Amino acid sequence: MKIAMWSGPRNLSTAMMYSFGARSDFTVMDEPFYAAYLAQSGADHPMREEILAAQATDPDEVAALCRAPFPTPHLYMKHMPHHMLEGFPLDWAQDCVNVHLIRHPARVIASYAAKREAPTLEDIGFVQQHALYEKLGGVVIDSTDIRARPEHMLRALCDAIDLPFDPAMLSWPAGPRAEDGIWAEHWYGAVHQSTGFAGAEGELPALEGSLADLLDAAQPYYSALFERKIS
């Protein structure tokens, strides 16, 4: 089985990669299209030059990597919807189990803005994720539900994709992992301190000004996916 896990940034996506990576029957892959996205979009992200040097920048080469054999029974690929620019190959995803990990945009925006100034609608990926769901279909799961009931939701996800649940998914060693992208030192600090999923989230953060406007723009796309989530 190949799983393509589609998720915007600041959305429990690294913890989910660690969860599947804790299984002995999975190989995991961290955002393989990141450098290709940066090269073609020209986006000025933290550690841009290091990422461009560390990964393939040809999207066809990355797509071939996503199709390639892997050494374990299953492969888990962490993907960001906004990395899939127009013209990037997507045929490889037709052979995957596509899962869409969502999180309330107020939480995403507040977390992203703490790491990178002035996020845009493109940066947080809700529009692109909705479009990918419309194109590929798949299973939708909300990160808030996972944090509130990790074992229940991971079992529900495994059931939905016809994969046996493995209790190893509930914990992992603290610290960085070999499969981390080179950008981990900027983005993965909190998850590197974790050994499992954090507890239930509190009240939604209050956003003001341009961040509140961004929330209004993202909300309809999140709501459309929220209606399809498993529970």
What are the strands of the beta sheet with 139-142, ordered from one edge? 26-30, 74-79, 2-7, 97-102, 139-142
Q: 88 is written with which tokens?
A: 């990037």
Residue 47 pLDDT more than 90? yes
Residue 42 zone, left/alpha/beta (φ > 0; ψ -120 to 50; rest): left
**pLDDT single digits (tens) 59-74:** 999 999 999 999 999 9
- Whole-number Å distance between alpha carbons of 231 and 226: 11
- Three-state SS for the chain is CEEEEEECCCCCHHHHHHHHHCCCCEEEEECCCHHHHHHHHCCCCCCHHHHHHHCCCCHHHHHHHHHCCCCCCEEEEEECHHHCCCCCCCHHHHHCEEEEEECCHHHHHHHHHCCCCCCCHHHHCHHHHHHHHHHHCCEEEEHHHHHHCHHHHHHHHHHHCCCCCCHHHHCCCCCCCCCCCCCHHHHCHHHHCCCCCCCCCCCCCCCCHHHHHHHHHHHHHHHHHHCCECC
- Whole-number Å distance between alpha carbons of 204 and 110: 9
CA dihedral (186, 187, 189, 192) positive or negative:
negative
User: What is the reported pLDDT for 76?
Assistant: 98
User: What is the reported pLDDT for 117?
Assistant: 75
Residue 50 pLDDT more than 90? yes
**Which residue from 78, 120, 82, 121 is spatially nearest to 101, judged by alpha carbons?**
78
**pLDDT single digits (tens) 90-128:** 999 999 999 999 999 999 999 888 877 788 998 899 999
What's the pTM?
Answer: 0.94
Q: 61 is written with which tokens?
A: 């080469």
Mean pLDDT for 72-80 is 98
User: What is the reported pLDDT for 119?
Assistant: 86
How many C-beta atoms lie closer than 10 Å to residue 18's C-beta? 25
Q: 184 is written with which tokens?
A: 């981990």
Residue 142 pLDDT more than 90? yes
% of the chain exceeding 70 in pLDDT:
100
Provide φ and ψ at 124, rounded to 5°.
-95, -10
Domains of the chain: 2-226 (3.40.50.300)
User: What is the reported pLDDT for 89?
Assistant: 97
**pLDDT single digits (tens) 143-196:** 999 999 999 999 999 999 999 999 999 999 999 999 999 999 988 988 999 999
Residues near 103 by Cβ (< 8 Å), separated by ≥ 6? Answer: 8, 10, 11, 12, 142, 143, 144
